[in-house]
A and B are shown apart, each in its own frame.
Chain A
């Protein structure tokens, strides 16, 4: 559908299960609310904060992986975290579209046969995540159960759902395959206004900056995985949202011999696909970063701009000496990420300024690891996150050290004094202990429901020791 028809109208248009639908603009109604109001009640609200996946539906998105012949891919998302106007121009499939008049879809049949449902409330969400995995372009072998890692089940304990996924072989040449052979809808610019609510999705950076400077009250939004939690859970209401989803400048990926540049509005799940020779640490980091359903919407720029002290992105990017490219009506500037966070949930972004991209200099450090300590190993918010990067000189002495943390201070930070304590030392237990003493002296974490201050402080030092030990152990083994 063309974007021009949505210009200055109060009607959001998109495709649901192949049918064009229209909806009145609202800046607090979620896609989930809308679907359920249209009697598509398969998607359920389990938590309204993107944690449980009971509301999962799929979007048709471009297949950026270039694996498989398909032009498009099904991208499962939490419909509870997508505000209605963000669906403008999207093509959406819900669980109701899967079964034929007589036969269940293969993913549904597999769930039935393996006893994958008990109460059934979470099941449509699991089915949609598995559906997207089943049709994933270039998939070989069975479906990966981790594709459903953003879905929670309280009844089954997951074993039968895992077995259902593992029982599924190649997808047939059916109408869904056929759909993926065609391009995904372009996410164009839109401008919607109704009864005091404005939603704009500009198509150029210049336009976006102009809109932003014209209304200082406007809120910038990318994947909205944080913003909609505010509205769903805390009743926060917005009158003017500006989406960056259609800005090509923020969706670019560039790599040369000096650096890698990641567009601030790339979905997290796109990054390892675009950055083909990304280091292992990046892949490890992504596995621990939220869940697949969130990674299909959340962005690096969003994660940095919210400036949460426990955001997953900052520690690793700090350890990699990342910089951020900012743009405002005055022009562009590049600053080190280390100076981006200015206080608790405060950043160096000036009024009307936004993050265009994140720059990671090359070469990457020799030894770099990301650690995330959280109550639950996967899809949890960290109690403490840490990223360490160490270069040794030819004598085995520490030539360069980056110790970056989240969850130990009001901002994500590098602990410069502890880094200094490592410099020039030989990479052994004594130098680690020296740095640990500095960490203990410098950091003043807080206690909350995720962990005590004492535990957080202990982790700051303990993770460094673990980093060293695991390399040491590897060297010995």
Chain B
């Protein structure tokens, strides 16, 4: 029986429902003498630290030690991209930035000790918004730019033109498990770190850097994460480094776990963006030229902001051929948390802008938005603005047409019009939007992965690979891949938690590519092992090695078969090595970061969604009545996992675009720093009717078992909800462009309805914060 492609439950599902699945902070009782760490927090968003007197903390009963810059034997920095993140800063760069850490026998002692530390600051002027950063020229890097054609003259000669602006809010990851690390000295004087990290190798690098020791002295393991979504790609590093510094200093195990209110105040988020655009188009709605400037609010350090911006620029075409496109990206340095990777990694912001622009074109011309969208689709033979041929461009229209059909888009539009005519204070809207998402790390070197497969004499197998499990089902897929490859049942395969002493120099579990990369590495290792076992089996079965077949726990030739374990035992006796390393590097990709041209992506993942909403004009409240999704996952490796990624990604995207709102006040304090002030989608946000289908006949050649990446692309299907809201808002008026900043909170929708009704520009009144990130 084929194992790959079966709808199996999550590999840890049993542990999840019983509570037996362990996360980093569940291990505390295994560490006698463990110390708890609590930070001393700066009360300013931007300041110079004048004086730090930590000694009074030691008077607090139960306080064992204080960590300051003086305790760093190596380099006082955790910046991955650029060494710009001091662990113990002299200049405060965001509100509540830790300036020291107190270690106590209990968390309470550490917290009380931290309150006793005396710090003096000289406040400096903070830059808190994109607008302020533009005025102050506060940028992390020089502009990034992709140019195709002459957009200036194409704009000038376009029959229609407009200019516009779109503010796009950020998003808190709100992984249910906050940042957690435990570090202790191992038996031989090295350091061991149990960390909730998406990138054990980089955590290892940063710990080694801070301690001033070689990386082989540091081992990092990640059992599993309680969600990550990009928020633990680099942001786990400083907390692991603090735990390691504490263990190094005290020789005792040290735990760092951020409570939610600190996790939200200290860690980075999805980048808020501001887009300014000029578009030129013809009478039929064909876009002829687009001049685009994207500003990202990157916060205090560079972090992953450059590749995030690059991906935003790469995805500012979404599924559309734009003959003349001039896209510039500027990364703003502000005195806020360091914004970072988050599912989609800039792609969602880039895509949102072009979808916003196309809706404006449609409403300027009084054409249905879906007609304008499909008229602009890429066709076979087209290339993107960064010079990559659009592989399988025909799938865009194929998905689109099939979904229009199955969702009954056209008849429902007529129905909605009837409903709206009868209801002055409630309006419905519907929209269909497509997704094209490039798969691969844009930094070509990261597109490699290793695996180590160990067969024991009883035929049981341990699989080590470089990917971490954060709920996305990677281990589930890897187990299916390994079982399928070796022809053994899944129960014979155990997936080991990733450790840096098993697979070195791994890439982050990110960019949706982890089953592509690690899965292929596992296949490679399994193939080598089968190649070694086949001659052994051939000898035992009296067959030729070429006839040997591995399936269902047996090794067979024709109608003769032996149990896998028996062949393994025989191989051992013949002194055949029963372990193999696998390796994979993505072929054919290349990309020049200077010109921003090349083939950064191995392939594209496609999808489309139709959403219908209903708005209450009295309040701006709305609900999603129905969503239909058709998504391209290639040949699904694991349908239950993939459906979970599509549905969960969609709802997370819906949260980003509708109700999740980050508000900072004029001092740079995050006002939405807890679950009571920052609202995630709950039951009430689940569409009343929700249909999800996978595209059939979609095998992706050259990718493991014909599958496609699925982690990030579905998030952007939620753009259909925002566009449906704009459609419903428009129905309150008599046509015209609907400007709507993101997220579309009920308040923003309320004012947009008011504008549509009055057909007069009503100035949008924002909430108290200076910036609605």
Interface of A with B (CB < 8 Å)? Answer: 28, 36-37, 39-49, 51-52, 54, 94-96, 98-99, 104, 107-109, 111-113, 115-124, 127, 145-146, 148-149, 152-160, 162, 229, 232-233, 235, 373, 375-381, 383, 446-452, 454-455, 458-459, 462-463, 465-466, 469
Task: Name the residue on A nearest B680 (C-beta).
Answer: A152
7 closest A-B pairs (Cβ-Cβ)?
A42-B19, A119-B471, A121-B226, A120-B16, A157-B651, A51-B675, A118-B471
Contact pick for A47, options B18, B29, B228, B260, CB 8 Å: B260
Known: A96-B18, A117-B16. A451 touches B767 (CB 8 A): yes
CA distance in complex: A119, B21 (Å): 10
Determine whether the beta carbon of B686 is less than 8 Å from that of A162: yes
- Which listed segment binds A: B172-180, B395-403, B565-573? B172-180
Q: What chain B residues lie within 8 Å of A149 (beta carbons)?
A: 682-684
Q: What chain A residues lie within 8 Å of B648 (beta carbons)?
A: 118, 154-157
If A42-B18, A96-B18 are given as contacts, then 11 extra A-B residue pairs at C-beta distance below 8 Å, sorted by A number, are: A111-B13, A112-B13, A117-B12, A120-B226, A154-B175, A155-B648, A157-B650, A162-B686, A233-B674, A447-B767, A466-B619
CA distance in complex: A459, B674 (Å): 25
- Which listed segment binds A: B311-319, B548-556, B577-585, B742-750? B742-750
Determine whether the beta carbon of A376 is less than 8 Å from that of B684: yes
Per-position 1/0 for B604-631, Cβ under 8 A of A: 0000000000001011010100000000
CA distance in complex: A447, B674 (Å): 19
CA distance in complex: A378, B673 (Å): 19
CA distance in complex: A335, B23 (Å): 52
Contact pick for B746, options A54, A95, A96, A375, CB 8 Å: A375
Q: What chain B residues lie within 8 Å of A146 (beta carbons)?
A: 683
Per-position 1/0 for B32-49, Cβ under 8 A of A: 000000000000000000
Q: What chain A residues lie within 8 Å of B26 (beta carbons)?
A: 36, 41
Q: What chain B residues lie within 8 Å of A235 (beta carbons)?
A: 111, 115
Q: What chain A residues lie within 8 Å of B747 (beta carbons)?
A: 383, 451-452, 455
- Which listed segment binds A: B116-124, B636-644, B697-705? B636-644
Looking at the assembled complex, report how far the CB atom of B77 sits from the nearest CB atom of chain A, in whole angstroms: 30
Of the listed residues B19, B174, B621, the one surrounded by the most CB atoms of chain A closer than 10 A to its CB is B19
Determine whether the beta carbon of A154 is less than 8 Å from that of B176: yes
Determine whether the beta carbon of A104 is less than 8 Å from that of B17: yes
Task: Name the residue on A nearest B754 (C-beta).
Answer: A458
16 contacts between A and B (CB under 8 A): A42-B20, A47-B675, A95-B17, A95-B18, A111-B13, A112-B9, A115-B10, A123-B16, A157-B650, A157-B651, A376-B659, A450-B677, A451-B767, A455-B750, A462-B618, A462-B619
Determine whether the beta carbon of B643 is less than 8 Å from that of A115: yes
Chain B interface size band reads: 35 or more
CA distance in complex: A233, B16 (Å): 27
Determine whether the beta carbon of B472 is less than 8 Å from that of A380: no
Known: A46-B260, A159-B686, A459-B619. A447 touches B768 (CB 8 A): yes
Determine whether the beta carbon of A119 is less than 8 Å from that of B663: no
Known: A48-B260, A118-B473, A469-B425. A381 touches B676 (CB 8 A): yes
Flag whether B765 is at the interface (Cβ < 8 A).
Answer: yes
The prevalent SS among residues of A at the interface is loop
Flag whether B766 is at the interface (Cβ < 8 A).
Answer: yes
Per-position 1/0 for B445-470, Cβ under 8 A of A: 00000000000000000000000001
Flag whether B335 is at the interface (Cβ < 8 A).
Answer: no
Determine whether the beta carbon of B681 is less than 8 Å from that of A157: yes
Q: What chain B residues lie within 8 Å of A450 (beta carbons)?
A: 677, 767
CA distance in complex: A96, B228 (Å): 25
Contact pick for B176, options A44, A375, A381, CB 8 Å: A44
Determine whether the beta carbon of B674 is less than 8 Å from that of A117: no
Q: What chain B residues lie within 8 Å of A148 (beta carbons)?
A: 683
Q: What chain A residues lie within 8 Å of B766 (beta carbons)?
A: 452
Task: Name the residue on A nearest B177 (C-beta).
Answer: A121
Flag whether B14 is at the interface (Cβ < 8 A).
Answer: yes
Task: Name the residue on A nearest B19 (C-beta).
Answer: A42
CA distance in complex: A48, B651 (Å): 24
Determine whether the beta carbon of B690 is less than 8 Å from that of A159: yes
Determine whether the beta carbon of B176 is less than 8 Å from that of A157: no
Determine whether the beta carbon of B769 is less than 8 Å from that of A121: no
Determine whether the beta carbon of B679 is less than 8 Å from that of A466: no
Determine whether the beta carbon of B19 is less than 8 Å from that of A124: yes
Q: What chain A residues lie within 8 Å of B683 (beta carbons)?
A: 145-146, 148-149, 158, 162, 378
Q: What chain A residues lie within 8 Å of B12 (beta carbons)?
A: 117, 120
Contact pick for A96, options B19, B652, B671, B672, CB 8 Å: B19
Known: A42-B19, A158-B683. A466 touches B618 (CB 8 A): yes
Q: What chain A residues lie within 8 Å of B746 (beta carbons)?
A: 373, 375
Of the listed residues A36, A45, A96, A115, the one surrounded by the most CB atoms of chain B closer than 10 A to its CB is A115
Flag whether B53 is at the interface (Cβ < 8 A).
Answer: no
Per-position 1/0 for B762-773, Cβ under 8 A of A: 000111110000
Determine whether the beta carbon of A115 is less than 8 Å from that of B640: yes
Flag whether B108 is at the interface (Cβ < 8 A).
Answer: yes
Task: Name the residue on A nearest B13 (C-beta).
Answer: A112
Determine whether the beta carbon of A449 is less than 8 Å from that of B661: yes
Contact pick for A104, options B14, B640, B684, B690, CB 8 Å: B14
Looking at the assembled complex, report how far the CB atom of A84 sits from the nearest CB atom of chain B, in whole angstroms: 13
CA distance in complex: A225, B458 (Å): 54
Known: A113-B9, A449-B663, A465-B618. A158 touches B175 (CB 8 A): no
Determine whether the beta carbon of B671 is less than 8 Å from that of A448: yes
Q: What chain A residues lie within 8 Å of B652 (beta carbons)?
A: 154, 157
Q: What chain B residues lie within 8 Å of A378 (beta carbons)?
A: 682-684
Q: What chain B residues lie within 8 Å of A104 (beta carbons)?
A: 14, 17-18
Q: What chain B residues lie within 8 Å of A118 (beta carbons)?
A: 10, 227, 471-473, 644, 648
Q: What chain A residues lie within 8 Å of B73 (beta carbons)?
A: none
Of the listed residues A47, A48, A157, A455, the one surrounded by the most CB atoms of chain B closer than 10 A to its CB is A157
Determine whether the beta carbon of B10 is less than 8 Å from that of A120: yes
Q: What chain A residues lie within 8 Å of B425 (beta carbons)?
A: 466, 469
Determine whether the beta carbon of B768 is less than 8 Å from that of A43: no
Per-position 1/0 for B517-558, Cβ under 8 A of A: 000000000000000000000000000000000000000000
Flag whether B162 is at the interface (Cβ < 8 A).
Answer: no
Known: A121-B176, A466-B619. A43 touches B19 (CB 8 A): yes
Determine whether the beta carbon of A51 is less than 8 Å from that of B676: yes
Of the listed residues B23, B227, B473, B751, the one surrounded by the most CB atoms of chain A closer than 10 A to its CB is B227
Per-position 1/0 for B218-232, Cβ under 8 A of A: 000000111111000
Flag whether B685 is at the interface (Cβ < 8 A).
Answer: yes
Determine whether the beta carbon of A108 is less than 8 Å from that of B17: yes
Flag whether B15 is at the interface (Cβ < 8 A).
Answer: yes
Flag whether B259 is at the interface (Cβ < 8 A).
Answer: yes
Flag whether B261 is at the interface (Cβ < 8 A).
Answer: yes
CA distance in complex: A125, B598 (Å): 48
Looking at the assembled complex, report how far the CB atom of A98 sits from the nearest CB atom of chain B, in whole angstroms: 7
Flag whether B355 is at the interface (Cβ < 8 A).
Answer: no
Flag whether B647 is at the interface (Cβ < 8 A).
Answer: yes
Determine whether the beta carbon of B767 is less than 8 Å from that of A448: yes
Flag whether B22 is at the interface (Cβ < 8 A).
Answer: yes
Q: What chain B residues lie within 8 Å of A465 (beta carbons)?
A: 618
Q: What chain A residues lie within 8 Å of B677 (beta carbons)?
A: 381, 449-450
CA distance in complex: A157, B19 (Å): 21
Determine whether the beta carbon of A44 is less than 8 Å from that of B177: yes
Q: What chain B residues lie within 8 Å of A51 (beta carbons)?
A: 674-676
Chain B, 131-176, CB within 8 A of any chain A CB: 174-176
Q: What chain B residues lie within 8 Å of A39 (beta carbons)?
A: 29
Determine whether the beta carbon of B745 is less than 8 Å from that of A117: no
Task: Name the residue on B nearest A451 (C-beta).
Answer: B747
Determine whether the beta carbon of A119 is less than 8 Å from that of B227: yes
Per-position 1/0 for B649-675, Cβ under 8 A of A: 111100000010101000000011011
Q: What chain B residues lie within 8 Å of A44 (beta carbons)?
A: 23, 176-177, 226
Determine whether the beta carbon of A119 is less than 8 Å from that of B226: yes
CA distance in complex: A154, B174 (Å): 7
CA distance in complex: A54, B174 (Å): 13
CA distance in complex: A232, B261 (Å): 10
